[in-house]
Chains A and B, each alone.
Chain A
């Protein structure tokens, strides 16, 4: 059966458009989660990972952690004093993961997870559980050290150049005597022009 010229033309146009659009379609690929990310100069994955790694290695080299006994720590707040949104909990979580994996540190339940901990203890004390195998109240171990810190930034912009400077500071305090046992900083500078 023969087709008329306008129908053939429309068919050809549809085919060309399909080919053109498929050429423009966004391509998705898996990347290196640990690669250097420089999409923008805002706080990014590379900054988070570098801070966590740098702080952990520094702390593992400190006297508190390199001793025979594994110190018990708790994580407190890292204050975000920058002008942008940064999930500082993600940074402290990464630091805690690396320290725990090193086998040199133990972590006690922190303030953020305390409600869940108490709730579970109370639940196990209920009549639904076998008393002998339930966790007892009054047996939790308190931390000897607390981790806290802050992140600040200085942002400057002129003549199409934007410079961002981050400084992350972490401190390890002795809860018993209030002494600062270890502290370190990580600086990062990013410039976009």
Chain B
């Protein structure tokens, strides 16, 4: 292998390593989402458990993933809801917004009704309403009762 080829491989390796390093988690964040007071988030399941509140019971509906990203200083959140049953299910959801101290950062959102067809996944998407709203909880309620 001649010198130019070796140099190219070396530069490419450094570039790839650099990209990987830029994915480092920020302090007080877990999987891109704010950890809040919960410092024991070691897995995606822990993160979902920390951020999810179910009002009453919610059979057949499962939160299977949760993603967060920073968009111009505001928090963008995606929540994947899976309907495990063959029947269509109706739920309602809303987000609760908290500031960096865990205090309420925004008024109660409206409950948003949602239809999820049987054995399908639906992604709920939202954006924090103000820069102070740096943490959140997603609240889900059954509407089929």
Residues of A within 8 A of B (CB): 32, 34-36, 46, 49-50, 53, 56-57, 60-61, 66, 98, 101-103
Contacts and interface: CB of A to CB of B under 8 A. Distances in A.
Interface string B98-112: 000000001011111
B109 to A, nearest CB: 6
Contacts of B74: 60-61, 66
B105 to A, nearest CB: 11
Given A34-B94, A36-B143, A66-B72, A60 B111 contact: no
Interface in B117-144: 126-127, 129-131, 143
Give the interface SS of chain B, mostly helix, strand, loop or mixed: loop
Give the interface SS of chain A, mostly helix, strand, loop or mixed: helix
Of listed A46, A49, A101, A102, residue having the most chain B CB within 10 A? A102
Interface in B41-79: 71-72, 74
Interface of B: 71-72, 74, 92, 94, 106, 108-113, 126-127, 129-131, 143
14 contacts: A34-B94, A34-B109, A36-B92, A46-B110, A46-B111, A46-B113, A53-B110, A56-B129, A60-B129, A61-B71, A66-B74, A98-B129, A101-B129, A103-B130
Contact of A57 (B108, B113, B129, B143): B129
B113 A101 contact: no
B111 A61 contact: no
Contacts of B71: 61, 66
A127 B34 CA distance: 58
Contacts of B72: 66
